[in-house]
Amino acid sequence: MDFINQMQGKQSVKYFATPLILEYASVCGSKENDGPLREHFDECCTDDMFGSDTWEKAESAMQKRTLETLFKKSGLKESDIKYIFAGDLLGQLIASTFGIIDYEIPFFGLYGACSTMGESLSLGSMAVAGGYAKKVITMASSHFASAEKTFRFPLEYGNQRPYSATWTVTGCGAVVLGESGNERLVPKAKIKGVTTGKIVDYGVMDSMNMGACMAPAAADVIRANLEDFNIKPDYYDRIITGDLGYVGQKILFDLLGAINIDITKNHMDCGIEIYDSEKQDTHAGGSGCGCSASVLCGYILEKISSGEWKRVLFVPTGALLSPVSFNEGQSVPGIAHAVIIENMEV
């Protein structure tokens, strides 16, 4: 089957029939509304409850608004979509379960911590390129309050946060992936291939320093991508990690520098971009699977679509932490999934 979808190297796939990003949408919360990327999101809701009575329902409501926006922007109907690949940070994926429950679309639930948008784009693009679906939706979300409650402390506790801590983004991003050809929609970008990450554990035990937990996984999957495709970092206009923040970025540069890979000139991190860290008191930056998902489905895809960036390696990064494993003394391993996204003219 190698002629159909080239299997490139150990961890990667290069598509023969390149799946297209046909449309995208993003909805965020009030803190993102105050941040520097505000104009790039489809909507920022100043009510972080999104009209709901619990934080979890609020996250589901945000997912629904994102899907509504996606259907509106694309003009597509529910019946046009064969599968939805989605996930979030909450136990048993309840934000996604109740976010998509009103849609009659076959569902694959995914958990990759904050790397989930990379995982959903990878599996969604495999489904389209494999000929299993003409169109799929891939989506990920996080919500500051539901995540703090799950992983750290209830907001009412008012705990202090070290400078290494990141701020979970209240945000959701979703894209429609579709087959090449026969399409009335103008494609925004294409997915050339993916590199799937392994679990990488450096034994970090600090749940308030997610950047340090995730940086080794990001370094590993970026190295694998460059090796599998036999390319140099400057092949990409940008190599964009999910939510390493300032602390994780420095570790990433150090780890890659040690194996002679220099990405300092073209690296960007969604967690660093989404907030004005000094003005907004967000310490090391933004995090959560909604961070990379919402920045992709606005800022990044705008730049790729316009041609300002020809080729991007999108690398959402996840810390595989649960309150149970952490309190039982387990480390916080990381995982990251890389997706090659290109301008249509490339």
54 binds a second copy (CB under 8 A): yes
119 binds a second copy (CB under 8 A): yes
258 binds a second copy (CB under 8 A): no
Residue found under tokens 């911590």: 113
Residues in 184-243 at the binding interface with a second copy, rule: CB under 8 A = 196-199, 201
17 binds a second copy (CB under 8 A): yes
156 binds a second copy (CB under 8 A): no
Which is nearest to 190 in space by CA: 200, 199, 178? 178
126 binds a second copy (CB under 8 A): yes
Q: Choose, by CB under 8 A, the member of 51, 131, 154, 257 that binds a second copy.
A: 131
- Type of residue at 94: I
Contact 96, 86 (CB under 8 A): yes
From the list 126-134, 154-162, 170-178, 280-288, the region that binds a second copy by CB under 8 A is: 126-134
Residue 230 backbone dihedrals phi, psi, to 5 degrees: 55, 55
CA 270 to chain centre: 9
Question: CA-to-CA distance for 19 and 37, rounded, in angstroms?
Answer: 27
Contact 125, 19 (CB under 8 A): yes
From the list 30-38, 77-85, 153-161, 301-309, the region that binds a second copy by CB under 8 A is: 77-85
Q: Choose, by CB under 8 A, the member of 29, 35, 87, 242 that binds a second copy.
A: 87
- For 3, residues 6+ apart whose C-beta sits below 8 A from its C-beta are 16
Q: Choose, by CB under 8 A, the member of 72, 132, 155, 163 that binds a second copy.
A: 132
Which is nearest to 335 in space by CA: 18, 71, 119? 119
In DSSP notation, 229-294 reads: TT--GGGSSEEEESS-HHHHHHHHHHHHHHTT---TTTEEEHHHHSS-HHHHT-TT-EESHHHHHH
Q: Choose, by CB under 8 A, the member of 34, 49, 134, 305 that binds a second copy.
A: 134
The 10 Å Cβ neighbour count of residue 203 is: 10
Q: How many CA atoms lie within 13 A of 98 on its CB side?
A: 15
Q: Choose, by CB under 8 A, the member of 20, 113, 226, 297 that binds a second copy.
A: 113
Q: Choose, by CB under 8 A, the member of 38, 101, 159, 279 that binds a second copy.
A: 101
Query: How many residues belong to the site for a second copy (CB under 8 A)?
Result: 64
Q: Choose, by CB under 8 A, the member of 82, 152, 250, 310 that binds a second copy.
A: 82
From the list 61-69, 169-177, 237-245, 322-330, the region that binds a second copy by CB under 8 A is: 322-330
Question: CA-to-CA distance for 57 and 105, rounded, in angstroms?
Answer: 20
57: left (phi over 0), alpha (psi -120 to 50) or beta: alpha
255 binds a second copy (CB under 8 A): no
91 binds a second copy (CB under 8 A): yes
Residues in 262-291 at the binding interface with a second copy, rule: CB under 8 A = none
330 binds a second copy (CB under 8 A): yes
133 binds a second copy (CB under 8 A): yes
Which spans of this chain sit near a second copy (rule: CB under 8 A)? 1-2, 4-5, 7, 10-11, 13, 17, 54, 56-57, 79, 82-83, 87, 89-94, 97-98, 100-101, 104-113, 119, 122-123, 126-127, 129-134, 150, 179, 196-199, 201, 320-325, 328, 330, 333, 335
